[in-house]
Structure 1
Amino acid sequence: MSAIAEEAADAVAGAGAPPLIEARRLTRILPGTVPVTLVREIDLTIRAGEFVAITGPSGSGKSSLLYLLGLLDSPTEGEVLIEGEPTHLLSERRRAATRLSTLGFVFQFHFLLPEFSVTDNVMIPMRKLGRLPAREMRERARGLLADLGLGDHLDKRPDQLSGGQRQRVAVARALANEPPAILADEPTGSLDSRSSDQVFDILRALVDDHGKTVIAVTHDLDMAARMDRRLHLVDGMLADP
C-alpha cells in the first residue's frame, strides 16, 4: 500500500465526528489610524472529505480567511475550531502543534529550501513534529515523492526541477505528517496549464481516493467549478457566487 493510500481508511472512521474546521463569527481587522477589515463575521463548517474553493475578487479576503482557518493568523473576534476544539485560547506552542498534525499547506510559490534536497524538504514538517525516528521520516518522504511521480528526483535540489515538479514536492511536504486537511493558496497560480492540471488532479485524488479535505484559494473559476463547494468572498464577507 502506498504512503498516501495508508491514510484513506482513517477518514471513513471519522464520518460521525464534528466538523473538521469550523469558523464562528470570524473577523480579522488590521489596526491602524484607519482600521482595515480583512474578514467580517464569517460562519462556516468544513467537514472531512470536502473539496472547497475560496473565490472572490482581489482584496476580498480570500487568503486572509485561509490563513485564519489554518491558524497561521489569529482573529480579532470570533474563533476557529479544529475537530471540535476551540483554538483561540491555545498557547502558540499548542497552535503550532495543531497546525503540524492536522493541517498541511501548499502556497502559490512553493517555498522549498534551495540548499536542501527534495527529500529533506519533505522531511521538514516531520522533524518539527518529532513523532518519527530519522530513518522512518526519510522513508515516508521518499514514499510520498514516489507516489507523486518524483521517484527519480529524490536527491535533486529544487532548482533542478520544473515548476510543476516543485509544486508536487510542496504537496508531498504538506502530506508529510498525515494531516486530514490540506490548505492551498493559489496552488496553480504560477504554473502553466499542463502543470496546473496535474496539480489539480493530485488535489482531486487526495479528496476522492484518500479522504482528505482540501481547501484552495483560487482566481481560476474553471478550477473552482471542478471543485465540490465554493465559498465566494466580497469585501471580507461570504456572498453568493
Structure 2
Amino acid sequence: MSLLAAIGMGKRLPGGVTLVQDIDLVIEAGEFVAVIGPSGSGKSSLLYLLGLLDRPSEGRILLDGADTAGLAPADLAALRLSRIGFVFQFHFLLPEFDALDNVLIPIRRLDRLRGRDARARANALLDALGLAGQGHKLPEQLSGGMRQRAAIARALANDPTLILADEPTGNLDTKNAAAVFDIFERLARDQGRAVVTVTHDVELARRATRRVHLVDGRVVSDERG
C-alpha cells in the first residue's frame, strides 16, 4: 500500500482557472521527490493538495490507502498535524518564541507528549539538526540557515511519515541550501520518510531520487534515479 496517492486529481478555481489537472501520482515511503517546472506550472498548488491544505475539484487523495475526500475540516487538520510535516520558503517561526518553543508548538497541539518528555523531544530534534545549545535563541538571533533548520525540526516534531517542502531553499545561499537537501536525503534514506519538495533549483533537484516535472498543471515527466 502506498503512503500517498493522487488519482485523477485536478483543481479548478471559480471562473474556470485550472491550477492542476489529470494528476496521477503515487508517493512511497523512503522516496525523496523533487517537483520541478516553470513558474506558474502548478507546483505549489500540487503540494498544497497533497498536504491536504486544499481540496481537489476532482479526483481523490489517499493517505495510507484511506480516501480523504469525506473528512471534515477538523479531521483533516488532525491528520495533517499527526502525519504530515510542512516546510516553507519562509520559515514562519513565531518571532516572540525561542527556537525550542517553536518546535514545541506542534508537540503541544498533538498532546501526545508533555512536560519533560515534550522538551526532550524538541531538544533532540534541534540537536540532530545541528542546533545544539541554540534552543534558547529567538529567530532573529539565528542565521537564515539555522532558522530553516529550526523550521525543519518543527516539521519533524510529531514524527510525520510525509514531509512536504515548498521552495525551502529559496531564501538561502548555496551552502545552506545544500545543507537542507542533505537533511532531506537523510530523512528519506535513513528514516524511511517520504520527502516531496518543490524547487526551482535544477542542480538541487538532481539530488532527489525522483523528479516530477509539471508544465501547465500537468505531469509531463516522472523520472527516477
**Which TM class, normalised by the smaller chain length?**
over 0.9
Q: Determine what percentage of the aligned residue pairs are the same residue.
A: 58
Runs of 4+ deviating beyond 3 Å: none
Distance in 1 between residues matched to 2:221 and 2:134, nearest whole Å: 44
Match of 1:62 among 26, 43, 47: 43
Please name the residue that 2:85 is paired with: 104
Distance in 2 between residues matched to 1:133 and 1:116, nearest whole Å: 18
Question: How many aligned residue pairs are there?
Answer: 222
Deviation of 1:134 (Å):
2.7
Q: Are 1:152 and 2:133 an aligned pair?
A: yes
Q: Are 1:93 and 2:74 an aligned pair?
A: yes
Q: How is 1:1-241 mapped onto 2 (pairs within 5 angstroms)?
A: 18-32=1-15, 35-240=16-221
> Unaligned stretches of 5+ in structure 2?
none
**Aligned with 2:191: secondary structure?**
coil
Letter in 1 for 2:198: V
**Aligned with 1:240: secondary structure?**
strand
> Unaligned stretches of 5+ in structure 1?
1-17
Query: Could you state the TM-score of these two structures normalised by the residue count of structure 2?
Result: 0.97
Distance in 2 between residues matched to 1:54 and 1:23, nearest whole Å: 14
Distance in 2 between residues matched to 1:194 and 1:224, nearest whole Å: 15
Query: Could you state the TM-score of these two structures normalised by the residue count of structure 1?
Result: 0.90
**RMSD of aligned alpha carbons:** 0.9
Distance in 2 between residues matched to 1:206 and 1:217, nearest whole Å: 16
Deviation of 1:226 (Å):
1.1
Deviation of 1:135 (Å):
2.2
